[in-house]
Chain A
Amino acid sequence: MPRSSFRADRRTDWLAVGILVVLSLCALAPFAWMVLASFKPLQEAEGSGFLPKHWQPENYAKVFTQIPFARYFMNSAFVALWVTFLTCLTSAMAAYAFARVRWPGRDGVFKLYLATMMVPGVVTMIPNYAIVVKLHLLDSFTGLIVPASFSAFGTFLLRQFMLTIPPALDEAAKMDGAGHWKVFLDVVMPLAKPGLATLAIFTFLGTYGSFYWPLILLKSPHMRTVPIGILFFDSNYGRQTNLLMAAAVMAIIPPVVLYLFGQRLLVKGIQIGAVKG
């Protein structure tokens, strides 16, 4: 699509770039403040200067001596990886049933799936908590992982991807005597890879940042995930603005890294997720 080359365009482009620079600075300023505060001695972090007078990188090491922060990261990674794996698996299988197989009642069940995406989390949270208590899974990673591993959104997202794969491929495979499993694993899954990658990033990030469910489920300090760990670091350890900021900087590193690698997939996923109408 060639863009129009009106004379006004160049001037407005410069204006737009100017505004974008200002907006980007506004977006970044809090991060800059956070990073700089994380290198300051406490007194400076709670002063009004912007740059540190004494750089104190040992703040980062200190976080690890005060709280088991490495352990929190391991917990978060463990939970997020499992949830991501299980969500991708269950969603892909369900999406296959919705997108590639014709069966009576399919569209009705799919609509029911979509409808429940509207149910507020707080409605299902209380019964889910009761289920987990009944199964003696309170304060366990299983209790954290299993209820989070069935995603209506994921099913929807992968269904949209799978609908774009030509049906002729399935037919051809079936002519060669392939069963549903073989078609699923050898034909559909390889072609649905971009969809799976998108869902994986979304799920990983969502689980890594999830707050409500771990907050009510976890009791032991050593079970805490990163967000819960930071929450209690803030509320239980007195005022240590500089260390708190060091912990916050470290907590956002995984999402930032994932963003750098998965930006295109994420943008695509957000746009597909919105077409459900």
Chain B
Amino acid sequence: MKRRRDLWPALGFLAPNLAGFLVFTAGPVAFSLFASLTNWNLKHTVPLRPVGLRNYAEALADPAFRLDFVNTLYFMLAAPLAIAGALWVAILLNRRLRGIALFRALLYLPSFTSGVAIMILWKQLYNPDFGAVNVAIRHVSDWLHLGWQTPSWLSSTKSLGGLKVEEVGFEAKQFGLGAREALMGMGIWGAIGGNNMLLYLAALTGVPDELTEAAQLDGAGRWSCFRFVTWPHLAPTTFFIVVMSVIGGLQGGFEQARVMTGGGPAGTTSTLAYYIYNLAFEQFRMGYASAVAWVLFAFVLVATLANWRFGNRAAIEL
């Protein structure tokens, strides 16, 4: 039963948050859509005027935009690995053993401390000469007499996808480990024991033991037990994690690029989020940056809706 006399007290309680919400979220969303249709520039050298959809046309024709979009998608390829890894760790941790909480705490540490300090650490770890990553590779290589070449990581334009430099396409010469893989590796290290793992762990405790036991009594092996009992139970969690990873991935890569690579070498680690940052806060092209931000927003919306459709269907099939 809704009570009209409660409306005013309710609005009183809501007021501070609602005011902030209108000023710093709802208002800005509307304003940014409007700004994306202008040539708004904070440098004041150009008079403000409406430009219609020209910013959007420019963005879609902009080679930098396309490259950064490709980079963004490429970085998102790490997500399935990170999610599978999180599930694996959760399964390992889902047992009643003494000291299991300690493992959980240790594995959660990378995700928990993530931020500028840890990125600066990884910048050192990826140093081609003295970084721990290459030192370790050299040790293994010497030990087994493999004669491996160590990658130069953050200063290398190579990638496992063999992506061309400064052009959309593939090139065999560019195949290898480079800056993109370095950032993806760091991302997986930070994510594997993180929030997704905790979500899976919570979901796993919700799988009734009787079900797995019954399946085992029926002669189901480990894999079929997982595939037909555990995995369907995890579907809603997986769905949620996938949606959040796609949404996060589309907007991601800014901090890494700003702190570790400057988007380089040759733009190989620049993502859409970093592109928008450069447009808005280095070049002060606010109108154009807003348009690119809205294109990104559109991708996020499409991804969410597609995920919803796909997610619902998958849930029914299972």
- A and B assemble together: yes
Given contacts A37-B124, A46-B129, A124-B28, whether A106 and B20 have CB atoms under 8 Å apart is: no
Least Cβ–Cβ distance between B149 and chain A, in angstroms: 17
Chain A residues near B106: list those with CB within 8 A: 24, 27-28
**What 0/1 readout, one digit per residue, does chain B (192-215) give for beta carbons within 8 Å of chain A?**
110100110010010001001100
**What 0/1 readout, one digit per residue, does chain A (128-161) give for beta carbons within 8 Å of chain B?**
1111010000000000001101101001000000
> CB distance B289 to A126 under 8 Å?
yes
> CB distance B7 to A104 under 8 Å?
yes
Chain B residues near A77: list those with CB within 8 A: none
Given contacts A4-B212, A124-B24, A270-B198, whether A277 and B240 have CB atoms under 8 Å apart is: yes
> CB distance B293 to A122 under 8 Å?
yes
Chain A residues near B240: list those with CB within 8 A: 274, 277
A180 at the interface (CB under 8 A from B): yes
Q: Which of A13-21, A52-60, A61-69 contacts B (4 or more CB under 8 A)?
A: A13-21
The 8 Å CB contact of A245, one of B121, B237, B296, B297, is B121
CA distance A270 to B93 in the complex (A): 17
Given contacts A6-B216, A20-B93, whether A126 and B105 have CB atoms under 8 Å apart is: no
Closest chain B residue to A116, Cβ basis: B25
Given contacts A102-B3, A126-B286, whether A20 and B132 have CB atoms under 8 Å apart is: no
**What 0/1 readout, one digit per residue, does chain A (32-50) give for beta carbons within 8 Å of chain B?**
0110010000000111100
Chain A residues near B20: list those with CB within 8 A: 90, 146-147, 149-150
Chain A residues near B37: list those with CB within 8 A: none
A265 at the interface (CB under 8 A from B): no
The residue among A122, A125, A128 with the most chain B CB atoms within 10 A of its own CB is A122
Given contacts A118-B304, A211-B115, A231-B116, whether A106 and B10 have CB atoms under 8 Å apart is: yes
**What 0/1 readout, one digit per residue, does chain B (285-313) give for beta carbons within 8 Å of chain A?**
01001100110110011001000000000
Given contacts A20-B103, A24-B107, A124-B32, whether A46 and B130 have CB atoms under 8 Å apart is: yes
B110 at the interface (CB under 8 A from A): yes
Number of B interface residues in the complex (CB < 8 A):
99
Given contacts A46-B130, A252-B113, A255-B113, whether A97 and B11 have CB atoms under 8 Å apart is: yes
Chain A residues near B2: list those with CB within 8 A: 102-104, 106
**What 0/1 readout, one digit per residue, does chain B (1-40) give for beta carbons within 8 Å of chain A?**
1111011011111111111110111111101100100000
Chain A residues near B281: list those with CB within 8 A: 129, 216
B122 at the interface (CB under 8 A from A): yes
The 8 Å CB contact of A3, one of B202, B209, B237, is B209
B276 at the interface (CB under 8 A from A): yes
Chain A residues near B19: list those with CB within 8 A: 150
The residue among A48, A127, A215 with the most chain B CB atoms within 10 A of its own CB is A127
Can you give 21 A-B contacts (C-beta < 8 A)? A13-B97, A19-B92, A20-B107, A24-B103, A29-B132, A30-B189, A47-B130, A90-B17, A101-B9, A103-B11, A106-B2, A119-B297, A123-B296, A125-B293, A126-B293, A127-B31, A131-B28, A227-B116, A230-B116, A259-B112, A271-B199
Residues of A within 8 A of B (CB): 1-4, 6, 13, 16-17, 19-20, 23-24, 26-31, 33-34, 37, 45-48, 89-91, 93-94, 96-98, 101-104, 106, 109, 112-113, 116, 118-131, 133, 146-147, 149-150, 152, 155, 179-180, 184, 209, 211-212, 215-216, 226-228, 230-231, 234, 241, 244-245, 247-248, 251-252, 255-256, 259, 263, 267, 270-271, 274, 277
Q: Lowest 3 A-B CB distances belong to which pairs?
A: A150-B20, A127-B28, A94-B17
A sample of 7 more A-B contacts (CB under 8 A), given A23-B89, A120-B300, is A47-B130, A126-B280, A126-B289, A131-B28, A227-B117, A244-B124, A270-B199
Residues of B within 8 A of A (CB): 1-4, 6-7, 9-21, 23-29, 31-32, 35, 42, 89, 92-93, 95-97, 103, 105-110, 112-118, 120-125, 127, 129-130, 132, 135, 138, 189, 192-193, 195, 198-199, 202, 205, 209, 212-213, 216, 236-237, 240, 247, 250-251, 254-255, 258-259, 273, 276-277, 280-281, 286, 289-290, 293-294, 296-297, 300-301, 304
